[in-house]
Amino acid sequence: MHLALYGGSFDPPHNGHLALCLFASELLRVDRLIISVSNNPFKGRYLAADVHRKGMAQLLAGELSRVGISAEVSGWELEKRQPSFTIDLIRYVRSVYPLDSLTLLIGEDSFREITSWKSWQTLFSLCRVAVFRRSSAQEPLPPEVFPPDSIRFIDFDCPISSTIVRQAVVAGLPVAGLLPSSIRHYIAEHGLYRTA
What number is the average pLDDT over the span 75-84? 86
Closest alpha carbon to 102 in 12, 171, 1, 180: 1
The CATH class given to the 2-160 domain equals alpha beta
- What pTM does this model have? 0.91
How far is Cα 178 from Cα 14, in angstroms, rounded to an integer? 6
Domain boundaries, the chain: 2-160
Strands 32-37 and 2-8: parallel
Task: Give yes or no for a contact between 118 and 85, defined as CB atoms under 8 angstroms apart.
Answer: yes
| 30 Rama class: left (phi>0) / alpha (psi -120 to 50) / beta | beta
Q: What is the pLDDT of residue 119?
A: 94
Q: Is the pLDDT of residue 153 over 60?
A: yes
Q: What is the pLDDT of residue 196?
A: 47
How far is Cα 196 from Cα 185, in angstroms, rounded to an integer? 18
Q: What is the pLDDT of residue 106?
A: 95
pLDDT digits (tens, 9 = 90+) for 114-134: 989 999 999 999 999 999 987
